Structure 1
Amino acid sequence: MASSDIEAATALKVQGNKAFAQHEWPTAVDFYTQAIEKYDREPSFFSNRAQAQIKLEAYGFAIADASKALELDPAYTKAYWRRALANTAILNYKDALKDFKAVVKREPGNRDAKVKLADCEKLVRRLEFEKAIEVGDPPSAFEDLDIDSMAVDTGYDGVRLENEMTQEFIDDMIERFKKGKRIPRKYVFQIIKAVKDLVYAEPTMVEVGVEQGKKLTVCGDTHGQFFDLLEIFRLNGYPSDTHSYLFNGDFVDRGSWSTEIALVLYAYKWLRPNGIFLNRGNHETDDMNKVYGFEGECKAKYNETVFKVFSESFSALPLATLIGNKYLVLHGGLFSDDNTSLDDIRKLDRHNQRQPGQQGLMMEMLWTDPQTEPGRGPSKRGVGLQFGPDVTKRFCERNGLEAIIRSHEVRMEGYEVEHDGRCITVFSAPKYCDTTENKGAFINVGPELKLDFQVFEAVPHPDIKPMAYAQNSILSMM
């Protein structure tokens, strides 16, 4: 290997570090990749790329890169650290535990590593305990709730909620949330119960059209970024009789206003059952909520029962929406089997399987991602799989679709059209987690079923950090 190649590779790494410092994660990955192509024996190139992959939530790729760095240098502490974080992010706590132990062993004075190790040990114990006491089919969390007889807190000075949702209540609730106030628990339970019943009765794949004089807006992940949700409504109009919305999963977790987003979307769903559509995302699941903040937020702002009823309502949500027989909207993406059809989605009994698990149709709908290469590949996340343009083309042709619309991944411009126009990603959480310099986007669809992409910037919010309610500190370093 010529020394000029090593110098060139090192220069590319430096450029990658600069891009990383500016929160341009995809650019950083590109530079580190170019460095590795020039010289593939330097562990820091792989370890740095692992860190950028973590920022992109490509945890599977991060684990592979950290492992390669350790293959080149088994004493490389940073690589153990990054592999541990990536494994934690996809809930592989036992693997993470080994790596946190390796860090502490090599750096006994590293306080942060000791805290992470202790947190990881607690998580492993908690999960083992929960598994041990698990009952086959837990009773409904609503069973022991006598919502009618609950009192409204005496200090509540807002609009009252009776047996029907009103626009007046929603407007008042939004204003309260903007000021950091809450609504009474009785109303929270009323809203969740009403919406759980509504969405439970909907098919697994909801089928909608767009009538003359109306429009439908498709939004991607909002991830607890309540003030950015309000910016969408300010720019594009609030839900109304002529303007419906479809939110494509991941309303909650990470951002610290997840309960506010969920309650506003649910309130609109109750007011206009045919004007708001909600697809389930991979973060409307118990495993993710326990780690990424939603469970902790429910407990901090309301109580544990609120989380339990939200969880039950999430498992009732539809998994996909078909717009005008032309666009299939689902959170993650396509399937491991080319023979999977829209009819298979229609027939999927989501009520028998509350959580998506590690395999099967539901997991794939919530977790998969597109790739540029043909065929299928291992998931960059470490969960699910990736599908190429040929897979998308076959699926669309066999099912008479123009394209699939999915979310699930940050896109720096807020959206991306891939796979020869047949795979569209829309992401609606700008400046994601306050650290990624991405824009947000949403898609307006009119009666002609043409897609009109709108891009928007993040707006200021009160100084509460993302993951403020996470149950442990493990992910705070990511």
Structure 2
Amino acid sequence: MDFDVDSSATATTTTPSTTTTSSTVTSLSSPSPSPPPKNQSLPSDQPPQIPIQWPPDGTLTLDWVISLMTTFDWASRNLPPSEFSSVLPVPDFDRLILCGSKILHKEPNCVRIEDVGENSTVVVVGDVHGQLHDVLFLLKDAGYPSENRVFVFNGDYVDRGAWGLETFLLLLAWKILLPNRVFLLRGNHESKYCTSVYGFEKEVMTKYGDQGKHVYRKCLGCFEGLPLATVISGCVYTAHGGLFRSVHTGPSKRRKGKKRNRKIIVNSEENSDGKLSLGSFEELSKARRSVLDPPWEGLNLIPGDVLWSDPSTKPGLSPNKERGIGLLWGPDCTDKFLKKFNLKLIIRSHEGPDARDKRPGLGGMDQGYTIDHVVESGKLITLFSAPDYPQFQATEERYNNKGAYIVLKPPNFATPEFHSFEAVTPRPKANPYYDFEEVIDSDEELDLASMVSAS
């Protein structure tokens, strides 16, 4: 199978005062190093070294990670998916996933990124959904992760796109190489239910055959370790979905012969005051993030909110009835959250062009980002990094949206610099791993009964 390997993409940089179309980064304050060349695939007659082998001493190098990128790119264009196990054999996959899982499981629910100095930048990335070639372009366009270039990924690495496995493993390798400079957060698609509906499970089974169940199970175990949020330089909160409710805990009555348990008191519509209230970072830190699927109850409500909630133009905090999970929050809640925790900016993801088509009053995702709330204390931004999404679509009409990433710079890291980019073209030919004509494109109207039975 021989695919056309030429590719192209352009990036648009937007700042409060500058808009340019180029492949370079425009600085708000001081010049940045020139980024590496754009995504250039290897010619089909020059295959990389296959199979990929885990380093004998277990230590990754920059050259190894870049070689992994190159190999995944080449294989996606020249080999059928069923031969992927010959590219990354199961023993080497096991070492990669185990090493990454150990790092992720040790991180707190909300990672505080404080060690960013005057020469550092922070790149924030939204949903990428298995669009490997666009991720490769993004990494080169923004500049690879380094001691002075921190990356925060807001989740949804898998599903819908044809290369979710390669995308997640590649970002996991960067995490292993630079654990304090690359941060991988969990998205709502890093779950058993979503991956069984939107293609990732079938993708893994196709690529690893008889060993697919083992590989899929290991991936789910790694997903459990993904943190839920970050706070960057004390002033920027990032999470996949967004804000979350307060869930109070209190001691229950001691039973004879039994240890004291904690009683969960959910601050929800069923409470006497009939109101929801915003949660705290202390509550977020205590949430049980290892639960991959519903039932979302008790302390599990907070991860459900962080992963599934959406902003609204209407004031207040209410259940997200459109999705059936999480919350809707208005500009007043954004302002209150920013003030309460002395923050300036919220960057969340979770909504692509398909979802925004169904959300009147909020901006579309044609440029890869929207500024949803502008309040006294700061801003709320939705960031989406998968251009020309979804890869497979149930209608002939495509969104042709751009993807985007955000660059945050010193001194306060609170002024977002938007970089929009088009999809790498042509994409390698691929077949979908889910029935996109039957499964709805957005995550709304989910079959919650199936979610519970699948968990």
- Whether 1:177 aligns to 2:72 is yes
**1:226 Cα shift?**
0.5
Cα deviations by residue, 1:159-183 (Å, 9 ceiling, x for unpaired)? 6532122222222221121122532
RMSD over aligned CA atoms reads 2.0
Deviations 1:379-407 (A, max 9, x none): 43333231111111111111211121100
- Paired residue type of 2:409: G
CA distance in 1, matches of 2:429, 2:237: 37
SS in structure 2 of the partner of residue 475 of structure 1: coil
Work out the percentage of aligned pairs sharing the same amino acid. Answer: 36
Q: What's 2:410 paired with? A: 447
Q: Distance in 2 between matches of 1:427 and 1:261?
A: 16
In structure 1, what is the Cα distance between the partners aligned to 2:278 and 2:72?
46
**1:320–1:331 CA contact under 8 A, matched in 2:** yes
Pick from 420, 428, 431 the counterpart of residue 388 of structure 2: 431
- Ranges in structure 2 where 5+ consecutive residues have no aligned partner: 1-48, 80-86, 246-275, 353-364, 392-397, 443-455
Q: Is the 8 A contact 2:122 2:409 kept in 1?
A: yes
Contact 1:207–1:321 at 8 Å: present in 2 too? yes
Does the aligned pair in 1 maintain the 2:387–2:401 contact within 8 Å?
Answer: yes
Inter-partner Cα distance in structure 2 for 1:157 and 1:381: 42
Distance 1:446 1:256 in 2: 33
Deviation per CA, 1:200-239: give whole Å up to 9, x if none.
0011100003212121100000000001101111211111
Kindly provide the CA deviation profile for residues 238-273 of structure 1, in whole angstroms up to 9, marking residues without a partner as x. Answer: 112221211001011110100110010000111111
The count of aligned residue pairs is 321
Contact 1:215 1:447 in 2 (8 A): yes
User: Quick one: which amino acid aligns to residue 98 of structure 2?
Assistant: K
Equivalence for 2:83: none
* C-alpha separation in 1, matches of 2:402 and 2:227: 27
2:428 maps to which residue? 462
Partner of 2:233: 324
- Residue 405 (structure 1) aligns with: 347
Change (3 A) 1:327 1:462: same
Residues 295 and 338 of structure 1, relative CA distance in 2, 3 Å threshold: same
- Where do 1:387-398 residues align within 5 Å? 387-398=329-340
1:370 and 2:311 aligned: yes
Residue equivalent to 2:267 = none
Asked if the contact 1:195/1:313 (under 8 Å) is kept, the reply is yes
Q: Give the 3 Å change call, closer, same or farther, for CA 454–316 of structure 1 in structure 2.
A: same
Q: 1:355 to 1:380 in 2, by over 3 A?
A: closer
Q: Indicate conservation of the 8 Å contact 1:280/1:366, yes or no.
A: yes
Find out whether 1:358 has 2:315 as its counterpart: no
CA distance 1:339–1:429, shift in 2 (3 Å) = closer
Moved over 4 A (4+): 157-160
Change in Cα spacing, 1:476 to 1:374, as seen in structure 2 (3 Å) is closer
Give the 5 Å matches for 1:34-183.
Answer: 156-158=50-52, 161-162=55-56, 163-180=58-75, 182-183=87-88
SS at match of 1:344: helix
TM-score with structure 1 setting the length: 0.64
Please tell me whether Structure 1 or Structure 2 has the larger radius of gyration of its CA atoms.
Answer: 1
The residue matched to 1:474 in structure 2 has which SS?
A: coil
Give the Cα–Cα distance (whole angstroms) in 2 for the partners of residues 400 and 340 of structure 1.
15
Q: Verify the 8 A CA contact 2:134 2:424 in the aligned structure 1.
A: yes
Query: Within 2, Cα distance between the matches of 1:185 and 1:388?
Result: 47
- Which of residues 177, 189, 198 in structure 2 aligns to 1:283? 189
- List per-residue Cα deviations over 1:358-386 (Å, max 9, x = no partner): 34111000001001111134443333231
Q: Say whether 1:415 aligns with 2:415.
A: no
> Mean alpha-carbon deviation: is it higher for 445-454 or for 221-230?
445-454
Q: CA distance change for structure 1 residues 476 and 282 in 2, over 3 Å: closer, same or farther?
A: closer
